[in-house]
């Protein structure tokens, strides 16, 4: 096969050259007839409809893996590789198939990456990544706060300063755990359904062609993926992903009494359930650290005794205890704050009037059984995505269509249609 040149990389100086080379890879890296002959094998996980694969359920709720559903993958040198249990099972069989092919000379033995398969990366702990990110945010805020420490007398001031510093930046940054999972800072590897068989750099297109796609063993690689229910990431061909909607992966899922409909409930938690507890825990820890570094507040007092005098003194900042945090910053406080944080992370989707309405409705849920859980669920639903947002494009088009047909559409009927459109829009993903 003649050498094919794909020069796209992040190191190119010209943005036009980068765009052109990326387009070239996107259009021609894998011949169209290969894609057509292998339906469901390749998927572009950089495309918006696919980028949240494994990170959202069918209703667009963001997810995090339940740790007890992860299983180590054996025979991987000194690396501890974890995947979802049924994915690890399928991957073990995938690797064994390679060993058989080598022993019977079915494939070439001298291929750097496609002879002996070793998993370089499996599940990545997103809690660890989120913690690193929040510490980085704290350091950024602390630099500014240290120069303005007089403005931070107590916990309320600290939380407000922290949020203001982040939300007034030009660059939009996530704050909540859900916001982090939904951002580009979160890796697909956190889902437990992705695995990398190489540690090559993702941005160099030439490596994708010469070391994988154009190798003689790549055809066997494709067939082996199909046989065991894996997809190949079009942009990172050494990255495999469990095809949760395939019959082949379904056979492995059956062994663990799960299917493509129940996997999200059984194997994942919804991230919104963790958002405010995590945020308040970080604020408690960060504030008390700040108090430890800046324990005193400088005060001035004017004394009118035989002429005006300025009395300067220091006062100790009070640390925040867990008991006080839970008592003073109750469910109402957290509900209101959560709406503000999610609205910021959704690029201020709602105006002030709608934000206030969401807050009132959410607080109304607090009187129910599992009130805080119901309130968070309601808030999460309001920011779940534009497809089921009655004020966004999808809702607008449905209302316009109803007007054109002289149909009366209640708010609940509109919401039901929007919810159905969310599910329908994701049918091809899983």
Q: Encode pLDDT of 349-393 as tens digits.
A: 888 999 999 999 999 999 888 899 999 999 999 888 655 556 555
> Do residues 232 and 306 both lie within one domain?
no
Mean pLDDT of the chain: 88
Token reading at 59: 């209703």
> Do residues 66 and 155 both lie within one domain?
no
The answer to whether residues 215 and 111 touch, using CB atoms and an 8 Å cutoff, is: yes
Per-residue CA distances from 185 to 21, 129, 132, 180 (Å)? 24, 9, 11, 7
> Do residues 285 and 349 both lie within one domain?
no
> Do residues 59 and 142 both lie within one domain?
no
> Do residues 166 and 243 both lie within one domain?
no
Backbone angles phi, psi at 44, to 5 degrees: -90, 100
> Do residues 354 and 401 both lie within one domain?
yes
pLDDT of residue 389: 59
Q: Report yes or no on 430 lying in a domain.
A: no
Domain boundary, last residue among 258, 283, 316? 258
Is the pLDDT at 14 greater than 70? The verdict is: no
Domain range for 104 is 15-124+187-258
> Do residues 294 and 359 both lie within one domain?
no
Spatial distance between the Cα atoms of 401 and 293, rounded to a whole number of angstroms: 60
> Do residues 294 and 173 both lie within one domain?
yes
Residues facing residue 311 across a β-bridge: 301
Spatial distance between the Cα atoms of 122 and 204, rounded to a whole number of angstroms: 21
pLDDT of residue 426: 47
Q: What's the domain count of the chain?
A: 3
The pTM assigned to this predicted structure is 0.85
> Do residues 136 and 37 both lie within one domain?
no
pLDDT of residue 320: 94
pLDDT of residue 423: 55
CA atoms within 13 A on the CB side of 373: 4
> Do residues 317 and 357 both lie within one domain?
no
What is the percent of the chain with per-residue pLDDT over 90, rounded to a whole number? 62
What digits encode the pLDDT tens for the residues 140-172? 999 999 898 888 999 999 999 999 999 998 888
Which alpha helices (DSSP H) does 216-274 contain, by range?
A: 218-228, 247-255, 263-267
> Do residues 281 and 248 both lie within one domain?
no
pLDDT of residue 398: 78
Q: Report yes or no on 386 lying in a domain.
A: yes
Spatial distance between the Cα atoms of 147 and 244, rounded to a whole number of angstroms: 52
Spatial distance between the Cα atoms of 169 and 135, rounded to a whole number of angstroms: 17
- Select, from the ranges 159-163, 196-200, 398-402, the one with the highest average predicted confidence (pLDDT): 159-163
Is the pLDDT at 8 greater than 70? The verdict is: no
Best CA proximity match to 204, nearest among 9, 335, 22 = 9
Q: How many CB atoms lie within 10 A of CB 139?
A: 10
> Do residues 223 and 360 both lie within one domain?
no
Backbone angles phi, psi at 43, to 5 degrees: -145, 135
């Amino acid at each position: 096969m003649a050498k094919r040149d794909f020069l796209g990389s992040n190191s190119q100086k010209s943005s036009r050259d980068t765009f052109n080379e990326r387009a070239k890879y996107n259009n021609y890296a894998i011949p169209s007839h290969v894609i057509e002959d292998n339906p469901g094998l390749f998927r572009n996980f950089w495309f918006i409809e696919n980028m949240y694969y494994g990170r959202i359920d069918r209703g667009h709720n963001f997810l995090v893996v339940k740790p007890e559903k992860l299983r180590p993958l054996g025979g991987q040198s000194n690396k501890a590789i974890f995947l979802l249990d049924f994915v690890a099972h399928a991957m073990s069989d995938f690797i064994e198939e390679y060993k058989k092919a080598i022993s019977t000379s079915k494939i070439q033995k001298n291929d750097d990456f496609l002879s002996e398969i070793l998993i370089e990366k499996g599940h990545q702990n997103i809690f660890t990544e989120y913690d690193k990110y929040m510490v980085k945010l704290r350091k950024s805020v602390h630099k500014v706060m240290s120069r303005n420490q007089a403005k931070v007398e107590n916990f309320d001031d600290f939380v407000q300063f922290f949020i203001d510093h982040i939300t007034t930046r030009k660059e939009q940054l996530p704050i909540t755990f859900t916001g982090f999972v939904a951002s580009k800072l979160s890796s697909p590897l956190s889902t437990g359904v992705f695995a990398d068989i190489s540690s090559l750099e993702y941005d160099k297109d030439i490596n994708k062609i010469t070391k994988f796609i154009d190798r003689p063993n790549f055809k066997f690689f494709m067939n082996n993926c199909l046989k065991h229910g894996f997809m190949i990431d079009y942009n990172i061909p050494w990255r495999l992903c469990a095809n949760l909607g395939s019959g082949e992966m379904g056979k492995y899922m059956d062994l663990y009494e799960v299917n493509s409909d129940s996997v999200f409930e059984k194997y994942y938690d919804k991230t919104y359930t963790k958002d405010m507890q995590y945020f308040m825990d970080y604020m408690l820890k960060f504030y008390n650290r700040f108090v430890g570094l800046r324990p005193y507040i400088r005060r001035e007092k004017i004394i009118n005794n035989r002429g005006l005098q300025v009395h300067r003194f220091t006062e100790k900042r009070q640390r925040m205890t867990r008991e006080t945090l839970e008592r003073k910053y109750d469910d109402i406080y957290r509900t209101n704050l959560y709406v503000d944080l999610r609205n910021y992370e959704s690029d201020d989707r709602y105006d002030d009037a709608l934000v206030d309405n969401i807050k009132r409705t959410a607080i109304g849920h607090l009187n129910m059984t599992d009130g805080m859980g119901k309130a968070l669920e309601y808030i999460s639903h309001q920011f779940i995505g534009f497809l089921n947002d009655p004020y966004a494009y999808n809702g607008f088009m449905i209302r316009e269509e109803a007007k054109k047909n002289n149909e009366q559409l209640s708010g609940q009927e509109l919401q039901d249609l929007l919810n159905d459109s969310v599910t329908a829009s994701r049918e091809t993903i899983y």
